[in-house]
Chains A and B, each alone.
Chain A
Amino acid sequence: DTAVSQTPKYLVTQMGNDKSIKCEQNLGHDTMYWYKQDSKKFLKIMFSYNNKELIINETVPNRFSPKSPDKAHLNLHINSLELGDSAVYFCASSHSGGDYEQYFGPGTRLTVT
């Protein structure tokens, strides 16, 4: 069973479109994250939710809106996509009171043309 899964794995779309990426974890964790990895492999946190509550919200354009319907799911919706949004987006999860290890999903490669 996949611990952290993301859909879709690849997403190719045009500028101006709206798209969503879904993430699910079956590890029983209470904290989930979205990261963006650029073309130079630099990894930066975007958002973090703990028990469905937003606890980390980095300087991200408000075109990006996370939603956590329950502890096991964290989705990312992006409005009005721009060329600079092209990147690999990783979802991760962890247990807030545990060993601090984050478990990462396989990533979603977003290409905006």
Chain B
Amino acid sequence: AQSVTQLDSQVPVFEEAPVELRCNYSSSVSVYLFWYVQYPNQGLQLLLKYLSGSTLVKGINGFEAEFNKSQTSFHLRKPSVHISDTAEYFCAVRRTSYDKVIFGPGTSLSVIP
């Protein structure tokens, strides 16, 4: 069975500082990996995804993530955060196009002015 772990439930960071949100997954087969963001009182929207190819994936709003197969990780990074990045971030995994998406428990990013 697949599972997704996000080790940090809350990450406070000062504005313009870098941030890394950690994600590890477990699966016996190849997977597709995603990061979604949920702003307060809104639905989720896709930040970036890894399907195949280059292990460094760039997404919207200056975020990027690196897929590490040996460590089964897909950590999200941003070199300089803004107040507007304050949100809940979810890592997710799925095996095939008809399989369900498994979401991690989420990391709440709080950007401090």
Residues of chain A having any CB pair with chain B under 8 Å: 4, 40-45, 48, 50, 55-56, 58, 90, 92, 96-97, 99-107
Contact = CB atoms under 8 A, between A and B. Distances in A.
B88 A106 contact: no
Nearest to B102: A45
Contacts of B49: 99-101
Contacts, number: 54
Interface residues of B, number: 23
A42 B106 contact: yes
B46 to A, nearest CB: 5
A96 B43 contact: no
Interface string B87-104: 010100010011011010
A43 B103 contact: yes
A50 B98 contact: yes
Interface of B: 32, 34, 36, 38, 41-46, 49, 51, 88, 90, 94, 97-98, 100-101, 103, 105-106, 108
A45 B100 contact: yes
B106 A41 contact: yes
A56 B105 CA distance: 21
14 contacts: A41-B105, A42-B105, A42-B106, A43-B44, A43-B90, A43-B103, A50-B98, A100-B32, A100-B49, A100-B94, A101-B34, A104-B43, A104-B45, A106-B43
Nearest to A40: B105
Contacts of B42: 106-107
Contacts of A41: 38, 88, 105-106, 108
B94 A104 contact: no
B51 A99 contact: yes
